[in-house]
Amino acid sequence: MSQTTAGAASVVADNPAHPATAGGPTVGSSAADRAVKRQRVLEILDSSGSDSLLLTSNTALTWYLDGSRVHISLAGDPIAALLVDRAGDHLVTFNNEAARIAAEELPDGVALHSVPWYGNLREAAAGLGDGAPLTESAVVDELRAARQQLLPGEGARYARLCAEVAEMMTDVLSTATPATTEFEVMSRLSARVVAAGAEPLVLLCNGSSRSEFRHPLATHSPLGRRAMAVVCARRNGLIANITRWVRFDASTPQELDAEARIAAVEADIFDATVPGARLDRIFTEIKSAYARHGFGPDQWELHHQGGPAGYAGRDPRVTASATDQVVLNQPFTWNPSGPGVKIEDTVQLTEAGVQVLSVDPRWPVSTVNGLARPVTLQL
């Protein structure tokens, strides 16, 4: 095993064809998509006058590697660092991870290097190039712009994941009862997410006794007459976000009115999500929409409003300081909410307008501004 700079040992050079387990994350990785991503990074290097870029975050690594799993603990740092230079791509991982990375995660054309499990990934990767590389922190905006527009391969993978997560919600919530506990709902959803080869990043549930909480971590409380479930699931690096409601007795006029009004807020956000729109100006429209539909001028302050989606839960969350411009084929998850109501789906902006990705035709819907939107499932 030959030695390279910074103590990184070369494991795989110009990665030959490697076996990918059926349904594994490398299945469906697109060489064409990866070529576009590499070109986008090279353009970042050109504009900055640099020769290399060091990628170290889970968001950047999974995007650039087209969905490779570069984590062990969901709460931990990536177990890899990647140097992109004008000659090629160099991934550094720990010696106890290298064989699995080579066999199951590494795209073609990426050289793999290893350091001891106690080594420093960033130093080793940076040392593979000439001179100090750019760091992610120096080009945050440029990298986010590079991953805004979903390419064909990743767009297809994302749509499949979102549809599967919507189906999970239908299956699990349609079999719930008022006596089902929040933890039982979450355990059933978690099992389905993992069985689909995805990772449950966020699981939330509140029954009727806890409906005032916007981020309700599950408890042993029974669902009661009405409940909300939220899932954020990641596969191939892409994160699907969805919220659904279920009710076990007759709805009240107040509930139906609030549900219709929050869907109207979302419809106004969709109308503002057009190519070229700036996120801070969409944020201004969001605040106006709450007031316009009877939630008062300050409701937006009680929960974040969502934003672009994809390789991060929100990329970024929309605020008054977010000035990114919307582009075609960009995914979004907006999530307006009010007292006892919330609506959330993962969508993509296409030439035909907003396309909902997290959709299951079995779930009840109403038409809002020409778009089918989920309503509470009445059991």
Q: Would you place residue 359 in the very low, low, confident or very high pLDDT band (cuts 50, 70, 90)?
A: very high
Q: Look at residue 86 in the predicted model and tell me its pLDDT.
A: 96
Q: How far apart are CA 279 and CA 332, in angstroms?
A: 11
pTM of the model: 0.94
Q: Look at residue 29 in the predicted model and tell me its pLDDT.
A: 74
SS3 272: helix
> Quick one: how far is CA 173 from the chain centroid?
22
Q: Look at residue 7 in the predicted model and tell me its pLDDT.
A: 54
Average pLDDT over residues 373-378: 98
CB 243 within 8 A of CB 342: yes
Report pLDDT digits (tens) over 133-152. Answer: 999 999 999 999 999 999 99
CA distances from 344 to 57, 267, 302 (A): 26, 12, 16
**What percentage of the chain has pLDDT greater than the value 90?**
92
In the chain, where the domains are located? 5-146, 152-378
- Which CATH number describes the domain made up of 5-146? 3.40.350.10
Per-residue pLDDT at 57 exceeds 90: yes
If you ran DSSP here, which 8-state letter would residue 235 be given?
E
Per-residue pLDDT at 3 exceeds 60: no
CB 352 within 8 A of CB 274: no
Average pLDDT over residues 23-43: 81
Report pLDDT digits (tens) over 61-100. Answer: 999 999 999 999 999 999 999 999 999 999 999 999 999 9
> Hey, what CATH topology would domain 152-378 get?
Creatine Amidinohydrolase (3.90.230)
Report pLDDT digits (tens) over 212-267. Answer: 999 999 999 999 999 999 999 999 999 999 999 999 999 999 999 999 999 999 99
CB 169 within 8 A of CB 360: yes
Report pLDDT digits (tens) over 298-352. Answer: 999 999 999 999 999 999 999 999 999 999 999 999 999 999 999 999 999 999 9
Q: Look at residue 10 in the predicted model and tell me its pLDDT.
A: 59
Q: Would you place residue 19 in the very low, low, confident or very high pLDDT band (cuts 50, 70, 90)?
A: very low
